[in-house]
A and B are shown apart, each in its own frame.
Chain A
């Protein structure tokens, strides 16, 4: 950088006096004004200070600069990866928006659509957690000690933790603005949803693709809802709620969920070698 003062440069003696803090105010002011525009005098001043001091100051700065740039709660916990969170968000939006639009347009039919789709949010969460694409770092992450069921379960839980409140929020929105949702209906889908998700989780310990299981489970659930509708010849959600929220269906769902989770834990070892071969 060119200087404004080609004719004049600070001499080393003055710079040393300035560094020691014993320069008179006018000399100090003069030097300071000159240093702003003169790279060469700045360089000579730097040469007069200890390199150790600067080294120390740099390491202090580097400690502040060298931090993860990603939002801390996602990556520092290393549970969910951005790709997965994006996919989950899209899924949640679909699950949330499609029925909302349908409900406002077609009333009861829309509510039924919501009931078909709501349990699929956690199912999608688990299926996503198993996808290879959910972690592009692939084999690098796979050979980490935390890999395996622990990581898959944590990822699924995180996505579900985002998805579930949203699902409830949509139900609440329907209840407030469009139609009354019976309370038991709002909760009836939880256990079936859990059971289906647990089945997908279990599939990850076998050679069966969890995505296939997730799709089968989703279709099965939709058929079940359809069967209830056909059997009762009505679109009233209350009828469906009676069928699903009944103790029999809920007990079966709970049993399936518990059994599938228990089996998965027993077979957790198989997750580590998941479909790599």
Chain B
């Protein structure tokens, strides 16, 4: 089992910053399969999936410096991919909306951090009991790291609904876990 990969993903990003196409290929080889698989869970059109993954790596090639140097490179990649998918599925309508977006940047709450860190555990059991609508909201906001507005756009429901379903999910989970 290969746990440590050489060079590390971060080293690859640094090399990509120096226009090393071989490093891009290596990063692509490591991360394209799971990224494609994960996008495919959220979009059934294979053409769009391919496009989203492609555009994700293009962002990496053009702006590898955007990686802040903290956290998993994989998580950073997913952040790019899910937002690319979002834009591809539901292009934003106006600059005004985008400005509104900036003020509502999503910051994970303590509960969400717990959800993120634990899996195949009690939380998993608890999640299993949630209704599909609530689960979809949890997945979009907690796992995919989207803001309320982005989650609403992805799921095609109003922001208010996302908020109410999320609070329902929170209370159900709290009950199940305590």
Contacts and interface: CB of A to CB of B under 8 A. Distances in A.
Interface of A: 1-5, 8-9, 18-19, 21, 24-26, 28-30, 32-37, 39-40, 42-43, 45-46, 49, 53-54, 57-58, 60-61, 64-65
Interface of B: 1-5, 8-9, 21, 24-25, 28-34, 36-38, 40-41, 50, 53-54, 57-58, 61, 72, 74-75, 78, 116-117, 119-120, 124, 127-128, 132, 135-136, 138-139, 143
B28 A8 contact: no
A45 B33 contact: yes
Contact of A65 (B40, B61, B72): B61
A8 B120 CA distance: 9
Contact of B120 (A4, A30, A58): A30
Contacts of A24: 128
A53 B37 CA distance: 12
Q: Is the interface of B mostly helix, strand, loop or mixed?
A: helix
Contact of A18 (B32, B37, B128): B37
A29 B136 CA distance: 10
A45 B53 contact: no
A-B interface, 8 closest residue pairs, ranked by CB to CB distance from nearest? A46-B33, A30-B119, A49-B33, A26-B128, A36-B74, A26-B127, A40-B1, A36-B75
A60 B54 CA distance: 7
Nearest to A64: B58
Contacts of B41: 18, 21, 28, 32
A54 B33 contact: yes
B33 A39 contact: no
B69 to A, nearest CB: 14
Given A1-B3, A49-B33, 13 more contacts: A19-B37, A21-B40, A25-B135, A30-B119, A30-B120, A40-B2, A42-B30, A42-B31, A54-B28, A58-B25, A58-B32, A61-B57, A64-B54
B28 A58 contact: yes
B54 A61 contact: yes
A29 B33 CA distance: 17
Given A26-B135, A36-B74, A37-B74, A3 B3 contact: yes
Contacts of A61: 24, 28, 54, 57-58
B4 A54 contact: no
Contacts of B53: 57
B139 A65 contact: no
A21 B125 CA distance: 21
Most chain A C-beta atoms within 10 Å of own C-beta, residue among B4, B25, B29, B119:
B119
Contacts of B78: 36
A222 to B, nearest CB: 48
Given A29-B143, A58-B28, A40 B124 contact: no
Nearest to B38: A32
B61 A54 contact: no
B2 A57 contact: no
Nearest to A31: B119
Nearest to A58: B28
Given A32-B143, A37-B72, A58-B25, A45 B4 contact: no
A54 B75 contact: no
Contacts of B30: 39, 42-43, 46
22 contacts: A5-B119, A21-B40, A25-B135, A29-B135, A29-B143, A34-B119, A35-B34, A35-B74, A39-B5, A45-B37, A46-B29, A46-B30, A54-B28, A57-B36, A58-B28, A58-B32, A61-B54, A61-B57, A64-B54, A65-B21, A65-B58, A65-B61
